[in-house]
Structure 1
C-alpha cells in the first residue's frame, strides 16, 4: 500500500463523479491514475453535504471553478490532470482557511509573520496558479499547465520554510499541497 500523508482520505464509492479509467497507449497513464486515486480527497468538511465538486472544493469560489470545468472532464489523462488541479485548489483553499483562522488568534510576531507570508503564497496558488493551469489545459498548452502546478508545489514548500523560527502548524497541509501538485505536474508531463 502506498504511503499517504495522515490527513488524506481514500476516495469512497459515490464520491468520484464517474469511474476514472484513463486511456493511453503507455503504462504512464495507469501509473498516474494509481497515484491520483491514492491522493484524491474524500469530502473536505463542508456543511452542505452537496455534490462531489462542493465536497472537493469547500468554498463558493472553488465550487464555481469546479462547475465551470466539470463539462470538460473526460476519462483520459487530460481529464485526470484537470481533476488533480481541482484537488490542488481544494487543498490550497482548505489550507488558506486554516491560516486565516490561525491569524485570528493572538500569535507571537514570528508566527504571525510566517502565517501572513503563507496566506500570500496560498492566495497566489488559488488566484494565479490554479486558473493558469486550468486555462492551459483547456488550450492544450501543457507546459504552462505543468509550470502552474509546479509553482503551487514551490509555494507550499516556501510556506513551510517560513516557520524556521517557530513550529509550523501547517506542516501536514503544506506537504499535502506540495505532493498533490507534484503528482498533477507528473500527470501533465505524460501528455506532453
Structure 2
C-alpha cells in the first residue's frame, strides 16, 4: 500500500503535467493563428470563448469563427426587428439591412461551413468576404437616404468579425 500511494501521486503529477503542456500548446497555436489576423484581440476573444478551440486544428478554428459570424448576424437581425418598431421612418432601409443580414446568416455562413468541411477554403473565404460587404452595404444605405445609422457599431462589429474569420480561412489556402 505504501508503494501505490507514491505511484498514484507520480502518475497524477505526470498526467497534470501533460494536460497543462497540451493546453499551453493549444493556447500558443491559437495565439499564433490570431497574430495573422487584422484584429488579434478580437480573434482571441472569438476563439477562446468556444471551449472547442482547445485541441482544434486550423479548419476547426475557422469553423468556430464562421459560427461567430452567424451568431453576430442573428443578433443584428434581432436588433433590426427592434429598430423597425422604434424607428418606423427608417423601415425601408432597415428592410434592406435585414435582407443583407439574412444573406449572411442563411447563405454566406452555410456555404462557408460546407466549403470548409469539404476542404474548399477559397469558397469559405468568399462567404466571409461577402459577410463583410453586406455589413458595409447596410451601413452605407443609411447615408444614401440622408439618415444617421443607428447600426454603425453593429455593422462595424460584423465587418470586423468577418474579416478576422476570413484571415483565418486564408491561412488554409
Range class of TM-score, shorter chain? 0.7 to 0.9
CA contact (8 A) 1:41 1:87 kept: no
Matched, 1:179 2:160: yes
Provide the residue aligned with 2:58 in structure 1: 77
- Structure 2's unaligned 5+ residue stretches are 1-22
Bigger helix fraction: 2
Distance in 1 of aligned mates of 2:157 and 2:148: 17
Distance in 1 of aligned mates of 2:101 and 2:73: 6
SS in structure 2 of the partner of residue 191 of structure 1: coil
SS in structure 1 of the partner of residue 142 of structure 2: coil
Matched, 1:129 2:133: no
Provide the residue aligned with 1:13 in structure 2: none
CA contact (8 A) 1:153 1:177 kept: yes
Provide the residue aligned with 2:44 in structure 1: 37
How far 1:38 sits from its partner (Å)?
3.9
User: 1:26-65 alignment to 2 at 5 Å?
Assistant: 29=33, 31-32=35-36, 34-35=40-41, 36-39=43-46
Distance in 2 of aligned mates of 1:163 and 1:41: 34
Matched, 1:189 2:170: yes
Distance in 1 of aligned mates of 2:47 and 2:141: 27
SS in structure 1 of the partner of residue 83 of structure 2: helix
CA RMSD of aligned residues (A): 2.9
1:131-156 deviations in Å (ceiling 9; x for gaps): 00001000000000000000000000
CA contact (8 A) 1:160 1:174 kept: yes
Aligned length: 145
TM-score by length of 2: 0.73
Provide the residue aligned with 1:113 in structure 2: 92
Work out which structure has the larger RCO, using CA pairs closer than 8 Å and 6 or more positions apart in sequence. Answer: 2
Distance in 2 of aligned mates of 1:100 and 1:41: 30
Structure with the greater alpha carbon radius of gyration: 2
CA contact (8 A) 1:73 1:83 kept: no
1:33-54 deviations in Å (ceiling 9; x for gaps): 8441145596xxxxxxxxx69x
Q: Structure 2 vs 1, CA of residues 83 and 114 (structure 1 numbering), >3 Å: closer, same or farther?
A: same
Provide the residue aligned with 1:62 in structure 2: none
